[in-house]
Structure 1
């Protein structure tokens, strides 16, 4: 007879490591970024790094990147690679300007969404219905978007603006500030107090001169998270990007989910184009207005590991770099090399404590190289600072490549019934 009485196990159970919640992780990274900018500004004496104007410009330029990244997030979570975001943004800029100069800023928002969604629909027809390679279709959308916008601009804007490359002025949104807190922060920034004024400048830039479109864009980040990760609809859509055959076997209409995701993706990209048209100082369509921001938005999405919170951080980083090179000189941009060197040395210290000697040594040498570059030259040439956002994009993606995980079926051609 078999003894079914089992002796109690004496093997010690390893304690479960509790991961930091995503929202808490985001707060920690935000605080760390503020500390890094503040320390860099104080140690280098370059107040423009944390000035209100720089932060406002960075926020303004981060909005279209964030919207383009959200577009990429929706499409790729459904398994469709969308490098056509640039072309959809271009269509959005034209549609926004055409509707906006006739009926106002809210019409400009609607026009941008509609024209971007049309680009998304075309991409969905090509990739989902006809099985065209996603990269080929995306490149075609980019070329088509630029050509269509140029043709329509020549056809419709020449008679009213006398310039085929730009539209008439489009009325923009009023901006709002969190009063009386914004005024208090502005006064505190002007007092030039050590550290305190730098933090006040950053907060003042974030809380003053904010447009309704910026508020809506930031709100779309948690909305996208809740829809994609906390609803049945989101689960079905994401299942199409992980295993469409299994999703089909469970009754999910994979074609419909992919179509919906790519059309929404185009709408987000078109809204990003509208954000460029309605930005203060722009107020209209201009040829080559997007300047590769669709690609940078896609890079922000990849940097964020196909997650809304990470995407928000990537868009903030690239938008800040864009705003910095737009408003400041090469000396201020060079000052960031000092801050980045400090950050790399902190990373090196952490790696050395963990006894990862090779990674730590490489980080020490990289930080030293940046610090020597900061000491050896007075200012970066304007030809280099112009491409600062693109350079930052390449460097950040190269550094974060090993921790990325794309949806398993992203970019794969799917045919209904292929698993049967």
Structure 2
């Protein structure tokens, strides 16, 4: 036994160093973004770039995207593409709102919404795992089916309810709000001072620790929980092996079908929780079309995050931030980001020159100069462009991140157990 440990030790140490380096890079990136936004706030005078209200709103917009992204991560780590996240979120919004209203309890609504999303995941698993239906076809079918089925259920159950109808539910009870005591009173004046970095850090702390819904806290806990289950347990190792090489997993006695089912059902449950958040936290009512494509943006956040929970959180935060900024600051606040984006492109150009990639460097310089010209010749972005800034951000991020992505090797492949 001691000899085996001696042999394994050289393998473990580089892995540990690699993990530590990855965490350091992640923290460095977060710190660089924070300092950049703080400096941009001082230069442009746009206080909404990093005030407590923007941080709190970012959290509200990011949570459903992050939950959808985590749902996609669970499914795709087991080799199943889940385009049906949007439909599973729709199931979560409807069932969450209906049962919360019927039983006057948001927690019962949460349970019902998660179960509704899991039912959608189960349907997707039956189609793709058992009957080998194309993953994309099955996901699109679930999206269409969920939208039509929930409209039918609304007509059936809300036709005689005052204030409700085919496209919306009655008002629902909300989750209790949480917050650290005295944080707002202690740090609020510091945040209002406008000091570089100090006030910005105070704003972030106040935004993250006050007026937080209990469901927001539950959703945030799903990120470390997903990491611990998938990367720190034997169950998670087996599930991820199914998405990499199901034939090898089967030869080692792994129950491939069962793990795929578990992964896709959990995926639907997380998407359903995101739908409950939209119906009971982001608003207090179910409305048709409430998801607004967040299931697809969640998939984009998952791809941006390279199929890792921390990356999903960063992607969801980015999309949530742009959404919050256009809602609170309008075209002026997003206009300020042009300056930051131009600076980033010029830094990228210098980096590409060092790597002798002159074509990419020239393209980055041209794009950076055009953005600088746009910033200095205008005072605000058009309203239409500001409204669609989250979707534009999604396209830009995916195009820039595509070079470093490493999806599971067996993702989207139809698999059948060997008959031998």
TM bin (shorter chain)? over 0.9
What's the CA shift string for 1:27-78, capped at 9, x where partnerless?
2222112112111111111111112111111111100011000100000000
Give the match's secondary structure for 1:140: helix
Q: Could you tell me which residue of structure 2 aligns to residue 269 of structure 1?
A: 271
Does residue 405 of structure 2 align to residue 415 of structure 1?
no
What's the CA shift string for 1:273-321, capped at 9, x where partnerless?
00111224x1110110000000000100000000111111101101111
Using structure 2 for the length normalisation, give the TM-score. 0.92
- C-alpha change, 1:348 and 1:181, in structure 2 (3 Å) is farther
Contact 1:47 1:198 in 2 (8 A): no
CA distance in 2, matches of 1:207, 1:30: 19
Q: Could you tell me which residue of structure 2 aligns to residue 370 of structure 1?
A: 371
Does residue 24 of structure 2 align to residue 46 of structure 1?
no
Does residue 94 of structure 2 align to residue 94 of structure 1?
yes
Q: Could you tell me which residue of structure 1 aligns to residue 23 of structure 2?
A: 23
**Residue 354 of structure 1: how far off its partner (Å):** 4.5
CA distance in 1, matches of 2:225, 2:353: 40
Query: 327-336 or 396-405, which moves further after superposition?
Result: 327-336
CA distance in 2, matches of 1:286, 1:212: 22
Q: Could you tell me which residue of structure 1 aligns to residue 7 of structure 2?
A: none
**Residue 356 of structure 1: how far off its partner (Å):** 4.0
Q: Could you tell me which residue of structure 1 aligns to residue 143 of structure 2?
A: 142
Q: Could you tell me which residue of structure 2 aligns to residue 182 of structure 1?
A: 184
Gapped runs of 5+ residues in structure 1? Answer: 1-15
Give the match's secondary structure for 1:159: coil
Does residue 417 of structure 2 align to residue 385 of structure 1?
no
Alignment of 1:261-410 (within 5 A): 261-280=263-282, 282-410=283-411
Give the match's secondary structure for 2:177: coil
What's the CA shift string for 1:75-129, capped at 9, x where partnerless?
0000000010000000100010011112211111111101000000000010001
Contact 2:78 2:263 in 1 (8 A): yes
Contact 1:244 1:409 in 2 (8 A): yes
Q: 4+ residue runs of structure 1 moved beyond 6 angstroms?
A: none
Query: 186-195 or 146-155, which moves further after superposition?
Result: 186-195
CA distance in 1, matches of 2:295, 2:382: 26
Q: Could you tell me which residue of structure 1 aligns to residue 130 of structure 2?
A: 129
Q: Could you tell me which residue of structure 2 aligns to residue 12 of structure 1?
A: none
The number of equivalent residue pairs is: 403
Alignment of 1:202-213 (within 5 A): 202-213=204-215
CA distance in 2, matches of 1:121, 1:297: 19
- TM-align CA RMSD: 1.7
Using structure 1 for the length normalisation, give the TM-score. 0.92
**Residue 213 of structure 1: how far off its partner (Å):** 1.3
Query: 339-348 or 145-154, which moves further after superposition?
Result: 339-348
Gapped runs of 5+ residues in structure 2? Answer: 1-13
Q: Could you tell me which residue of structure 2 aligns to residue 75 of structure 1?
A: 75
**Residue 162 of structure 1: how far off its partner (Å):** 3.5
Contact 2:74 2:266 in 1 (8 A): yes
Query: 165-174 or 133-142, which moves further after superposition?
Result: 165-174
Give the match's secondary structure for 2:178: coil
What's the CA shift string for 1:204-234, capped at 9, x where partnerless?
2122211111111111111111111111111
Rg larger in structure? 1
* Structure number with higher helix proportion: 2
**Residue 361 of structure 1: how far off its partner (Å):** 3.1
What's the CA shift string for 1:167-189, capped at 9, x where partnerless?
11111112222232332221112
Give the match's secondary structure for 2:326: helix
